Chains A and B, each alone.
Chain A
Amino acid sequence: MIVAGTALGGLLLSGCDRLSQAPQALKFIDKAEGVTLGVQRLVLSGQPLAKEFKVSDISPTFKPNGTFTPSDPAYLALQQNGFADWRLSVSGLVNRPLSLSLDQLRALPNRTQITRHDCVEGWSAIAQWTGPQLGGLLHAAGLQPHARYVVFRCADNLGGPGDGGKYYESIDLFDAFHPQTILAHTMNNQPLAVPHGAPIRLRVERQLGYKQAKYVMAIEVTDRLNHIGGGHGGFWEDRGYEWYAGI
Protein backbone atom coordinates (compact mmCIF):
# COMPACT_ATOMS: atom_id res chain seq x y z
CA MET A 1 0.00 0.00 0.00
CA ILE A 2 2.70 2.45 1.04
CA VAL A 3 4.91 1.40 -1.87
CA ALA A 4 2.01 1.78 -4.27
CA GLY A 5 1.13 5.14 -2.77
CA THR A 6 4.70 6.40 -3.04
CA ALA A 7 4.98 5.14 -6.60
CA LEU A 8 1.70 6.81 -7.52
CA GLY A 9 2.79 9.99 -5.76
CA GLY A 10 6.10 9.97 -7.61
CA LEU A 11 4.35 9.37 -10.90
CA LEU A 12 1.92 12.21 -10.21
CA LEU A 13 4.73 14.59 -9.23
CA SER A 14 6.83 13.85 -12.30
CA GLY A 15 3.68 14.08 -14.41
CA CYS A 16 2.94 17.42 -12.77
CA ASP A 17 6.46 18.57 -13.51
CA ARG A 18 6.18 17.69 -17.19
CA LEU A 19 2.71 19.24 -17.41
CA SER A 20 3.98 22.35 -15.64
CA GLN A 21 6.36 23.07 -18.50
CA ALA A 22 4.27 21.90 -21.46
CA PRO A 23 3.99 24.80 -23.93
CA GLN A 24 0.23 24.38 -24.41
CA ALA A 25 -0.36 24.34 -20.67
CA LEU A 26 1.80 27.44 -20.20
CA LYS A 27 0.00 29.22 -23.00
CA PHE A 28 -3.31 28.52 -21.30
CA ILE A 29 -2.31 29.53 -17.79
CA ASP A 30 -0.76 32.75 -19.14
CA LYS A 31 -4.33 33.99 -19.56
CA ALA A 32 -4.35 34.57 -15.81
CA GLU A 33 -2.04 37.57 -16.33
CA GLY A 34 -4.72 39.31 -18.41
CA VAL A 35 -7.33 38.63 -15.72
CA THR A 36 -5.01 40.01 -13.02
CA LEU A 37 -4.21 43.09 -15.12
CA GLY A 38 -7.90 43.70 -15.87
CA VAL A 39 -8.98 43.37 -12.25
CA GLN A 40 -6.11 45.47 -10.89
CA ARG A 41 -6.72 48.21 -13.49
CA LEU A 42 -10.36 48.24 -12.42
CA VAL A 43 -9.61 48.63 -8.70
CA LEU A 44 -6.76 51.09 -9.40
CA SER A 45 -8.82 53.22 -11.82
CA GLY A 46 -8.85 56.07 -9.30
CA GLN A 47 -5.00 56.03 -9.46
CA PRO A 48 -4.43 55.64 -5.69
CA LEU A 49 -0.89 56.22 -4.44
CA ALA A 50 1.31 53.46 -3.09
CA LYS A 51 1.84 53.90 0.65
CA GLU A 52 4.51 56.44 1.52
CA PHE A 53 6.49 55.75 4.68
CA LYS A 54 8.24 57.83 7.34
CA VAL A 55 12.01 58.44 7.32
CA SER A 56 12.27 56.11 10.33
CA ASP A 57 10.80 53.27 8.24
CA ILE A 58 13.67 53.28 5.71
CA SER A 59 15.57 49.95 5.48
CA PRO A 60 19.02 50.14 7.09
CA THR A 61 20.39 48.28 4.06
CA PHE A 62 18.86 48.40 0.59
CA LYS A 63 19.87 45.30 -1.33
CA PRO A 64 21.01 46.02 -4.90
CA ASN A 65 20.00 43.34 -7.39
CA GLY A 66 20.64 42.42 -11.01
CA THR A 67 23.58 44.44 -12.39
CA PHE A 68 25.89 46.04 -9.81
CA THR A 69 28.22 47.75 -12.30
CA PRO A 70 27.47 47.92 -16.02
CA SER A 71 30.44 46.77 -18.12
CA ASP A 72 29.53 48.87 -21.17
CA PRO A 73 32.58 51.09 -21.99
CA ALA A 74 30.37 54.01 -23.00
CA TYR A 75 28.62 53.82 -19.63
CA LEU A 76 31.93 53.58 -17.74
CA ALA A 77 33.18 56.69 -19.58
CA LEU A 78 30.06 58.60 -18.50
CA GLN A 79 30.51 57.38 -14.94
CA GLN A 80 34.18 58.53 -14.91
CA ASN A 81 32.95 62.04 -15.56
CA GLY A 82 30.24 61.98 -12.91
CA PHE A 83 27.59 61.65 -15.64
CA ALA A 84 28.21 65.27 -16.71
CA ASP A 85 28.05 64.16 -20.36
CA TRP A 86 25.09 61.85 -19.86
CA ARG A 87 21.92 62.78 -21.73
CA LEU A 88 18.49 61.25 -21.44
CA SER A 89 16.78 61.11 -24.78
CA VAL A 90 13.01 61.04 -25.09
CA SER A 91 12.00 59.94 -28.56
CA GLY A 92 9.58 57.81 -30.56
CA LEU A 93 5.95 58.82 -30.91
CA VAL A 94 6.46 62.33 -29.52
CA ASN A 95 6.06 65.73 -31.16
CA ARG A 96 9.19 67.25 -29.61
CA PRO A 97 12.01 64.77 -28.94
CA LEU A 98 14.03 65.77 -25.87
CA SER A 99 17.62 65.40 -24.75
CA LEU A 100 18.12 66.27 -21.10
CA SER A 101 21.17 66.47 -18.85
CA LEU A 102 21.16 65.34 -15.24
CA ASP A 103 21.18 69.00 -14.13
CA GLN A 104 18.19 69.73 -16.31
CA LEU A 105 16.31 66.78 -14.73
CA ARG A 106 17.21 68.04 -11.25
CA ALA A 107 15.97 71.53 -12.14
CA LEU A 108 12.51 70.24 -13.07
CA PRO A 109 9.80 70.06 -10.39
CA ASN A 110 10.86 66.97 -8.41
CA ARG A 111 8.89 64.59 -6.26
CA THR A 112 10.25 62.88 -3.16
CA GLN A 113 8.66 59.67 -1.89
CA ILE A 114 9.54 57.02 0.68
CA THR A 115 8.22 53.77 -0.75
CA ARG A 116 8.57 50.01 -0.50
CA HIS A 117 10.44 48.16 -3.21
CA ASP A 118 9.19 44.60 -3.69
CA CYS A 119 11.44 42.17 -5.51
CA VAL A 120 9.82 39.38 -7.52
CA GLU A 121 11.96 37.03 -5.41
CA GLY A 122 9.96 37.96 -2.33
CA TRP A 123 12.03 40.45 -0.33
CA SER A 124 11.18 44.11 0.31
CA ALA A 125 13.21 47.21 1.13
CA ILE A 126 12.14 50.79 1.85
CA ALA A 127 13.96 53.86 0.55
CA GLN A 128 13.41 57.52 -0.25
CA TRP A 129 13.47 58.45 -3.92
CA THR A 130 13.65 61.87 -5.59
CA GLY A 131 13.21 62.75 -9.22
CA PRO A 132 11.00 64.42 -11.83
CA GLN A 133 7.69 62.84 -12.69
CA LEU A 134 7.71 60.88 -15.94
CA GLY A 135 4.30 62.35 -16.80
CA GLY A 136 5.77 65.88 -16.86
CA LEU A 137 8.49 64.83 -19.30
CA LEU A 138 5.99 63.12 -21.55
CA HIS A 139 3.79 66.23 -21.54
CA ALA A 140 6.81 68.36 -22.45
CA ALA A 141 7.63 65.99 -25.31
CA GLY A 142 4.00 65.85 -26.45
CA LEU A 143 2.60 62.39 -27.12
CA GLN A 144 1.29 61.49 -30.55
CA PRO A 145 -2.25 60.06 -30.64
CA HIS A 146 -1.30 56.40 -31.10
CA ALA A 147 1.30 56.39 -28.28
CA ARG A 148 0.60 53.51 -25.86
CA TYR A 149 3.81 52.38 -24.17
CA VAL A 150 6.91 53.98 -22.72
CA VAL A 151 10.08 51.90 -23.21
CA PHE A 152 13.19 52.40 -21.07
CA ARG A 153 16.55 51.57 -22.68
CA CYS A 154 19.24 50.75 -20.12
CA ALA A 155 23.04 50.69 -20.14
CA ASP A 156 23.48 47.31 -18.48
CA ASN A 157 23.97 43.98 -20.21
CA LEU A 158 22.48 41.71 -17.57
CA GLY A 159 21.93 39.01 -20.19
CA GLY A 160 25.48 39.02 -21.56
CA PRO A 161 27.17 40.97 -24.35
CA GLY A 162 25.28 42.14 -27.43
CA ASP A 163 21.90 43.74 -27.93
CA GLY A 164 20.05 40.59 -26.81
CA GLY A 165 21.54 40.94 -23.34
CA LYS A 166 20.57 44.57 -22.85
CA TYR A 167 18.21 45.41 -20.02
CA TYR A 168 15.05 47.25 -20.97
CA GLU A 169 11.58 47.71 -19.57
CA SER A 170 8.22 49.11 -20.56
CA ILE A 171 5.08 50.44 -18.92
CA ASP A 172 1.85 51.71 -20.42
CA LEU A 173 0.46 55.24 -20.17
CA PHE A 174 -1.76 54.31 -17.19
CA ASP A 175 1.35 53.84 -15.05
CA ALA A 176 3.49 56.38 -16.92
CA PHE A 177 1.23 59.24 -15.85
CA HIS A 178 0.79 58.04 -12.25
CA PRO A 179 1.99 60.78 -9.85
CA GLN A 180 4.51 58.44 -8.18
CA THR A 181 6.11 57.34 -11.44
CA ILE A 182 9.40 59.26 -11.34
CA LEU A 183 12.93 59.10 -12.75
CA ALA A 184 14.88 58.93 -9.51
CA HIS A 185 18.35 60.52 -9.49
CA THR A 186 18.51 60.66 -5.69
CA MET A 187 18.10 57.86 -3.18
CA ASN A 188 17.98 58.48 0.57
CA ASN A 189 19.19 62.06 -0.08
CA GLN A 190 22.32 60.85 -1.89
CA PRO A 191 22.99 60.81 -5.63
CA LEU A 192 21.86 57.40 -6.90
CA ALA A 193 24.77 54.96 -6.48
CA VAL A 194 25.95 52.78 -9.37
CA PRO A 195 24.61 49.47 -7.89
CA HIS A 196 21.19 51.13 -7.67
CA GLY A 197 21.19 52.37 -11.27
CA ALA A 198 23.10 55.68 -11.53
CA PRO A 199 22.44 58.17 -12.92
CA ILE A 200 18.68 57.48 -12.95
CA ARG A 201 16.32 54.60 -12.35
CA LEU A 202 12.61 54.37 -12.96
CA ARG A 203 10.25 54.18 -9.97
CA VAL A 204 6.84 52.75 -10.86
CA GLU A 205 5.64 52.13 -7.36
CA ARG A 206 2.71 49.76 -7.81
CA GLN A 207 4.76 47.11 -9.57
CA LEU A 208 7.61 44.75 -8.68
CA GLY A 209 11.33 45.47 -8.67
CA TYR A 210 12.16 44.27 -12.18
CA LYS A 211 10.01 47.06 -13.61
CA GLN A 212 12.18 49.66 -11.80
CA ALA A 213 14.69 49.91 -14.66
CA LYS A 214 18.20 51.03 -13.65
CA TYR A 215 20.85 52.88 -15.75
CA VAL A 216 18.15 54.44 -17.95
CA MET A 217 19.75 55.98 -21.05
CA ALA A 218 16.81 56.57 -23.34
CA ILE A 219 13.03 56.71 -23.23
CA GLU A 220 11.11 55.67 -26.29
CA VAL A 221 7.38 56.13 -26.76
CA THR A 222 5.80 53.44 -28.90
CA ASP A 223 2.47 51.96 -29.92
CA ARG A 224 3.44 48.29 -29.48
CA LEU A 225 6.11 46.13 -27.84
CA ASN A 226 6.47 43.18 -30.19
CA HIS A 227 9.24 44.79 -32.28
CA ILE A 228 11.51 45.52 -29.31
CA GLY A 229 13.97 43.04 -27.79
CA GLY A 230 12.36 39.61 -27.48
CA GLY A 231 8.95 41.20 -28.02
CA HIS A 232 7.52 40.78 -24.52
CA GLY A 233 8.15 44.29 -23.24
CA GLY A 234 11.18 43.80 -21.03
CA PHE A 235 14.35 41.91 -20.17
CA TRP A 236 12.69 39.61 -17.64
CA GLU A 237 9.45 39.49 -19.63
CA ASP A 238 11.48 37.98 -22.50
CA ARG A 239 12.59 35.34 -19.98
CA GLY A 240 9.09 34.27 -18.94
CA TYR A 241 8.07 36.84 -16.33
CA GLU A 242 4.78 38.73 -16.54
CA TRP A 243 4.74 42.12 -18.27
CA TYR A 244 2.24 43.28 -15.66
CA ALA A 245 4.11 42.99 -12.37
CA GLY A 246 1.50 44.39 -10.02
CA ILE A 247 1.36 41.03 -8.24
Chain B
Amino acid sequence: MSDAVMPIGGADRQATPAAPTQTIYRHAIVVRVTHWINVICLTFLLLSGLQIFNAHPMLYWGQYGADADPPFVSLGAVYTHDHSLKGVTKIGPIKFTSTGVFGVSHNEIRGYPRWLTLPASRDLATGRRWHFFMAWAFVLNGLIYLVSSAINGHFRRDLVPTNAQLAPRHIWQNIVDHARLKHPVGEDAKTYNVLQKFAYLGVILLMVLMVFTGLTMSPGIDAYAPGLVWVFGGRQSARTIHWICANLIVLFVIVHVIEVFVAGVANEIGSMITGRYTYRTGADH
Protein backbone atom coordinates (compact mmCIF):
# COMPACT_ATOMS: atom_id res chain seq x y z
CA MET B 1 0.00 0.00 0.00
CA SER B 2 2.64 2.49 0.96
CA ASP B 3 5.09 1.64 -1.77
CA ALA B 4 5.24 5.31 -2.81
CA VAL B 5 4.97 7.35 0.35
CA MET B 6 5.04 11.01 -0.50
CA PRO B 7 6.65 13.64 1.67
CA ILE B 8 4.33 16.04 3.40
CA GLY B 9 5.03 19.05 1.24
CA GLY B 10 2.01 21.11 0.25
CA ALA B 11 -0.39 18.20 -0.07
CA ASP B 12 -2.62 19.27 2.79
CA ARG B 13 -5.61 20.39 0.74
CA GLN B 14 -8.03 18.65 3.03
CA ALA B 15 -6.92 19.50 6.50
CA THR B 16 -6.55 22.72 8.42
CA PRO B 17 -3.06 24.23 8.22
CA ALA B 18 -2.42 23.06 11.76
CA ALA B 19 -3.01 19.41 11.01
CA PRO B 20 -0.05 17.79 9.29
CA THR B 21 -0.97 15.48 6.45
CA GLN B 22 0.73 12.87 4.40
CA THR B 23 -0.06 11.56 0.96
CA ILE B 24 0.29 7.89 0.11
CA TYR B 25 -0.21 5.86 -3.04
CA ARG B 26 -3.33 3.99 -2.01
CA HIS B 27 -5.03 2.45 -5.07
CA ALA B 28 -3.22 0.43 -7.70
CA ILE B 29 -3.94 1.25 -11.33
CA VAL B 30 -5.90 -1.99 -11.89
CA VAL B 31 -8.18 -1.17 -8.93
CA ARG B 32 -8.84 2.35 -10.21
CA VAL B 33 -9.53 1.36 -13.81
CA THR B 34 -11.74 -1.62 -12.94
CA HIS B 35 -13.58 0.51 -10.35
CA TRP B 36 -14.71 3.10 -12.89
CA ILE B 37 -15.51 0.55 -15.60
CA ASN B 38 -17.57 -1.21 -12.95
CA VAL B 39 -19.44 2.03 -12.21
CA ILE B 40 -20.43 2.29 -15.88
CA CYS B 41 -21.36 -1.40 -16.13
CA LEU B 42 -23.45 -1.42 -12.95
CA THR B 43 -25.30 1.75 -13.98
CA PHE B 44 -26.31 0.27 -17.33
CA LEU B 45 -27.00 -3.16 -15.83
CA LEU B 46 -29.30 -1.70 -13.18
CA LEU B 47 -31.29 0.53 -15.52
CA SER B 48 -31.60 -2.08 -18.27
CA GLY B 49 -32.34 -4.71 -15.61
CA LEU B 50 -35.28 -2.68 -14.36
CA GLN B 51 -36.50 -2.43 -17.98
CA ILE B 52 -36.38 -6.24 -18.20
CA PHE B 53 -38.10 -6.56 -14.82
CA ASN B 54 -40.92 -4.33 -16.07
CA ALA B 55 -41.82 -6.90 -18.74
CA HIS B 56 -43.16 -9.06 -15.89
CA PRO B 57 -43.07 -7.03 -12.66
CA MET B 58 -43.51 -10.01 -10.37
CA LEU B 59 -41.10 -12.37 -8.65
CA TYR B 60 -41.65 -15.91 -7.42
CA TRP B 61 -39.93 -18.69 -5.50
CA GLY B 62 -39.37 -22.09 -7.08
CA GLN B 63 -38.97 -23.62 -10.54
CA TYR B 64 -41.93 -21.91 -12.20
CA GLY B 65 -44.01 -18.76 -11.73
CA ALA B 66 -46.39 -16.79 -13.93
CA ASP B 67 -49.60 -14.76 -13.63
CA ALA B 68 -51.65 -17.50 -11.95
CA ASP B 69 -49.00 -18.30 -9.35
CA PRO B 70 -48.65 -16.39 -6.06
CA PRO B 71 -45.83 -13.84 -6.37
CA PHE B 72 -43.33 -13.04 -3.62
CA VAL B 73 -42.85 -9.52 -4.99
CA SER B 74 -45.17 -7.60 -7.25
CA LEU B 75 -45.12 -4.02 -8.50
CA GLY B 76 -48.72 -3.99 -9.61
CA ALA B 77 -51.62 -1.70 -10.42
CA VAL B 78 -55.30 -1.66 -9.49
CA TYR B 79 -58.20 0.57 -10.49
CA THR B 80 -59.81 2.48 -7.63
CA HIS B 81 -63.60 2.97 -7.56
CA ASP B 82 -63.22 6.36 -9.24
CA HIS B 83 -61.46 4.52 -12.10
CA SER B 84 -58.05 6.03 -11.48
CA LEU B 85 -54.93 3.88 -11.36
CA LYS B 86 -53.28 3.02 -8.07
CA GLY B 87 -49.81 1.50 -7.78
CA VAL B 88 -49.60 -1.32 -5.25
CA THR B 89 -46.25 -2.78 -4.20
CA LYS B 90 -46.11 -6.16 -2.49
CA ILE B 91 -42.95 -7.57 -0.97
CA GLY B 92 -43.64 -10.76 0.95
CA PRO B 93 -46.22 -9.90 3.62
CA ILE B 94 -45.69 -6.13 3.18
CA LYS B 95 -48.12 -4.25 0.96
CA PHE B 96 -48.23 -0.51 0.34
CA THR B 97 -49.54 2.09 -2.08
CA SER B 98 -46.77 3.27 -4.38
CA THR B 99 -48.53 5.35 -7.04
CA GLY B 100 -46.08 7.61 -8.87
CA VAL B 101 -43.06 5.40 -8.30
CA PHE B 102 -43.80 1.64 -8.39
CA GLY B 103 -46.66 -0.05 -10.24
CA VAL B 104 -48.12 3.15 -11.67
CA SER B 105 -46.22 6.24 -12.76
CA HIS B 106 -47.21 9.04 -15.15
CA ASN B 107 -50.66 7.41 -15.25
CA GLU B 108 -49.14 4.37 -16.89
CA ILE B 109 -49.03 0.80 -15.59
CA ARG B 110 -45.35 -0.04 -15.25
CA GLY B 111 -43.25 -1.65 -12.52
CA TYR B 112 -40.44 0.89 -12.28
CA PRO B 113 -40.86 4.50 -13.49
CA ARG B 114 -39.47 5.84 -16.77
CA TRP B 115 -36.55 7.60 -15.09
CA LEU B 116 -35.29 4.29 -13.69
CA THR B 117 -35.33 2.23 -16.89
CA LEU B 118 -33.16 2.05 -19.97
CA PRO B 119 -34.55 2.87 -22.45
CA ALA B 120 -37.07 5.08 -20.64
CA SER B 121 -39.98 3.84 -22.77
CA ARG B 122 -41.13 0.25 -22.66
CA ASP B 123 -38.63 -1.63 -24.84
CA LEU B 124 -37.68 -5.08 -23.58
CA ALA B 125 -35.66 -5.97 -26.69
CA THR B 126 -33.34 -2.96 -26.36
CA GLY B 127 -33.14 -3.40 -22.59
CA ARG B 128 -32.01 -7.00 -23.05
CA ARG B 129 -29.37 -6.05 -25.63
CA TRP B 130 -27.85 -3.48 -23.26
CA HIS B 131 -28.08 -5.82 -20.31
CA PHE B 132 -26.23 -8.69 -21.99
CA PHE B 133 -23.59 -6.45 -23.58
CA MET B 134 -22.87 -4.81 -20.21
CA ALA B 135 -23.00 -8.20 -18.50
CA TRP B 136 -20.11 -9.39 -20.67
CA ALA B 137 -18.15 -6.19 -19.95
CA PHE B 138 -18.94 -6.56 -16.22
CA VAL B 139 -17.78 -10.20 -16.14
CA LEU B 140 -14.53 -9.52 -18.02
CA ASN B 141 -13.81 -6.43 -15.91
CA GLY B 142 -14.62 -8.35 -12.74
CA LEU B 143 -12.36 -11.23 -13.74
CA ILE B 144 -9.46 -8.83 -14.34
CA TYR B 145 -10.04 -7.36 -10.86
CA LEU B 146 -10.40 -10.72 -9.11
CA VAL B 147 -7.43 -12.40 -10.77
CA SER B 148 -5.08 -9.42 -10.35
CA SER B 149 -6.17 -8.91 -6.74
CA ALA B 150 -5.51 -12.56 -5.95
CA ILE B 151 -2.06 -12.36 -7.57
CA ASN B 152 -0.89 -8.96 -6.29
CA GLY B 153 -2.12 -9.58 -2.76
CA HIS B 154 -4.79 -6.86 -2.73
CA PHE B 155 -7.30 -9.21 -1.10
CA ARG B 156 -4.92 -10.54 1.56
CA ARG B 157 -3.24 -7.23 2.28
CA ASP B 158 -6.12 -4.74 2.02
CA LEU B 159 -9.47 -6.54 2.24
CA VAL B 160 -9.19 -9.50 4.61
CA PRO B 161 -9.69 -8.22 8.17
CA THR B 162 -6.78 -8.76 10.53
CA ASN B 163 -7.24 -10.80 13.69
CA ALA B 164 -7.09 -7.61 15.76
CA GLN B 165 -9.85 -6.07 13.62
CA LEU B 166 -12.07 -9.10 14.13
CA ALA B 167 -12.10 -8.71 17.92
CA PRO B 168 -15.72 -7.94 18.96
CA ARG B 169 -14.55 -4.92 20.98
CA HIS B 170 -12.78 -3.50 17.93
CA ILE B 171 -15.80 -4.09 15.66
CA TRP B 172 -18.07 -2.39 18.21
CA GLN B 173 -15.70 0.57 18.48
CA ASN B 174 -15.70 0.80 14.69
CA ILE B 175 -19.51 0.85 14.61
CA VAL B 176 -19.56 3.64 17.21
CA ASP B 177 -16.96 5.62 15.23
CA HIS B 178 -19.03 5.28 12.06
CA ALA B 179 -22.16 6.42 13.88
CA ARG B 180 -20.30 9.51 15.07
CA LEU B 181 -18.88 10.07 11.56
CA LYS B 182 -15.46 9.95 13.18
CA HIS B 183 -12.67 9.06 10.81
CA PRO B 184 -9.36 7.52 11.74
CA VAL B 185 -6.13 9.49 11.64
CA GLY B 186 -2.51 8.38 11.62
CA GLU B 187 -1.59 4.78 10.83
CA ASP B 188 -5.25 3.66 11.04
CA ALA B 189 -6.16 5.99 8.20
CA LYS B 190 -3.82 4.15 5.84
CA THR B 191 -5.79 0.90 5.87
CA TYR B 192 -9.45 0.04 5.45
CA ASN B 193 -11.37 -0.21 8.70
CA VAL B 194 -13.15 -3.44 9.53
CA LEU B 195 -16.68 -2.35 8.51
CA GLN B 196 -15.26 -1.07 5.25
CA LYS B 197 -13.62 -4.45 4.63
CA PHE B 198 -16.86 -6.27 5.37
CA ALA B 199 -18.71 -3.96 2.98
CA TYR B 200 -16.20 -4.42 0.14
CA LEU B 201 -15.97 -8.19 0.54
CA GLY B 202 -19.77 -8.32 0.83
CA VAL B 203 -20.38 -6.36 -2.35
CA ILE B 204 -17.87 -8.52 -4.24
CA LEU B 205 -19.83 -11.59 -3.11
CA LEU B 206 -23.09 -9.92 -4.20
CA MET B 207 -21.65 -9.21 -7.65
CA VAL B 208 -20.53 -12.83 -8.00
CA LEU B 209 -24.05 -13.90 -6.99
CA MET B 210 -25.48 -11.53 -9.61
CA VAL B 211 -23.51 -13.30 -12.35
CA PHE B 212 -24.53 -16.79 -11.24
CA THR B 213 -28.22 -16.00 -10.65
CA GLY B 214 -28.20 -14.21 -14.01
CA LEU B 215 -26.73 -17.26 -15.74
CA THR B 216 -29.35 -19.45 -14.04
CA MET B 217 -32.07 -17.54 -15.91
CA SER B 218 -30.56 -18.71 -19.22
CA PRO B 219 -32.25 -21.90 -20.48
CA GLY B 220 -29.11 -22.70 -22.47
CA ILE B 221 -26.82 -22.46 -19.44
CA ASP B 222 -29.34 -24.48 -17.39
CA ALA B 223 -28.95 -27.42 -19.79
CA TYR B 224 -25.16 -27.16 -19.41
CA ALA B 225 -25.08 -26.60 -15.63
CA PRO B 226 -28.28 -27.95 -14.02
CA GLY B 227 -26.49 -27.70 -10.67
CA LEU B 228 -26.89 -23.91 -10.82
CA VAL B 229 -30.68 -24.21 -10.92
CA TRP B 230 -30.53 -26.64 -8.02
CA VAL B 231 -28.31 -24.37 -5.90
CA PHE B 232 -30.68 -21.41 -6.23
CA GLY B 233 -33.83 -23.52 -5.87
CA GLY B 234 -35.22 -22.98 -9.37
CA ARG B 235 -35.11 -20.45 -12.19
CA GLN B 236 -37.76 -18.23 -10.62
CA SER B 237 -35.93 -18.29 -7.28
CA ALA B 238 -32.76 -17.29 -9.11
CA ARG B 239 -34.64 -14.35 -10.67
CA THR B 240 -35.84 -13.29 -7.21
CA ILE B 241 -32.34 -13.60 -5.70
CA HIS B 242 -30.97 -11.62 -8.67
CA TRP B 243 -33.39 -8.81 -7.76
CA ILE B 244 -32.56 -8.99 -4.02
CA CYS B 245 -28.82 -8.82 -4.75
CA ALA B 246 -29.39 -5.87 -7.11
CA ASN B 247 -31.20 -4.04 -4.29
CA LEU B 248 -28.37 -4.79 -1.86
CA ILE B 249 -25.79 -3.51 -4.36
CA VAL B 250 -27.81 -0.29 -4.72
CA LEU B 251 -27.86 -0.02 -0.92
CA PHE B 252 -24.08 -0.52 -0.86
CA VAL B 253 -23.60 2.21 -3.47
CA ILE B 254 -25.76 4.65 -1.49
CA VAL B 255 -23.79 4.06 1.72
CA HIS B 256 -20.50 4.07 -0.22
CA VAL B 257 -21.24 7.46 -1.81
CA ILE B 258 -22.41 8.94 1.51
CA GLU B 259 -19.15 7.78 3.11
CA VAL B 260 -17.16 9.36 0.28
CA PHE B 261 -18.81 12.69 1.11
CA VAL B 262 -18.35 12.21 4.86
CA ALA B 263 -14.68 11.31 4.47
CA GLY B 264 -13.89 14.15 2.04
CA VAL B 265 -15.19 13.96 -1.49
CA ALA B 266 -12.22 15.52 -3.34
CA ASN B 267 -9.64 13.37 -1.60
CA GLU B 268 -11.68 10.16 -1.93
CA ILE B 269 -12.63 10.57 -5.59
CA GLY B 270 -9.18 11.95 -6.37
CA SER B 271 -7.54 8.90 -4.84
CA MET B 272 -9.64 6.60 -7.04
CA ILE B 273 -8.43 8.57 -10.09
CA THR B 274 -4.78 9.31 -9.32
CA GLY B 275 -4.22 6.65 -6.68
CA ARG B 276 -2.90 9.27 -4.21
CA TYR B 277 -4.68 9.60 -0.90
CA THR B 278 -4.06 12.25 1.73
CA TYR B 279 -4.65 11.59 5.39
CA ARG B 280 -4.03 13.41 8.68
CA THR B 281 -1.03 12.01 10.43
CA GLY B 282 -2.59 12.73 13.80
CA ALA B 283 0.56 14.52 15.01
CA ASP B 284 -1.58 17.35 16.40
CA HIS B 285 -3.14 15.02 18.99
Contact = CB atoms under 8 A, between A and B. Distances in A.
Contact of A124 (B66, B115, B123): B66
Sorted nearest first, the 6 A-B pairs with minimum C-beta distance are A246-B220, A240-B125, A61-B68, A29-B133, A122-B56, A123-B66
B23 interface: no
B125 A207 contact: no
Interface stretch (A32-40, A101-109, A140-148, A219-227): A32-40
B32 interface: no
5 contacts: A32-B135, A116-B219, A118-B219, A124-B65, A240-B129
Interface residues of B, number: 46
B128 A241 contact: yes
A205 B129 contact: no
A21 B224 contact: no
B222 A63 contact: no
Contacts of A125: 64, 66
Nearest to B127: A20
B271 interface: no
Contacts of A44: 220, 223-224
Contact of A205 (B67, B124, B218, B223): B223
A20 B122 CA distance: 13
A241 B115 CA distance: 23
B56 A51 contact: no
B185 interface: no
A7 interface: no
Majority DSSP secondary structure for residues of A touching B: loop
B69 A59 contact: yes
B130 interface: yes
Nearest to A65: B66
Contacts of A31: 133
Interface of A: 10, 13, 16-17, 20-21, 26, 29-33, 35-36, 40, 43-44, 48-51, 53, 57, 59-63, 116, 118-126, 205-208, 236, 239-242, 246-247
B241 interface: no
A239 B69 contact: no
Contact of B221 (A13, A21, A247): A247
Contacts of B47: 13, 16
A40 B220 contact: yes
Contact of A32 (B126, B132, B220, B235): B132
Nearest to B234: A124
Contacts of A242: 128-129
A45 to B, nearest CB: 10
B68 A60 contact: yes
A26 B60 CA distance: 31
B88 interface: no
B264 interface: no
Contacts of A59: 64, 66, 68-69
A159 to B, nearest CB: 14
Interface string B67-79: 1110000000000
Contacts of A49: 223
A13 B133 CA distance: 19
B223 A32 contact: no
Given A21-B119, A48-B224, A123 B219 contact: no
A10 B44 CA distance: 15
A116 B218 CA distance: 12
Given A29-B130, A63-B67, A124-B66, A43 B224 contact: yes
Given A13-B115, A122-B53, 10 more contacts: A30-B129, A36-B132, A40-B218, A59-B68, A122-B56, A205-B223, A241-B124, A246-B219, A247-B218, A247-B219
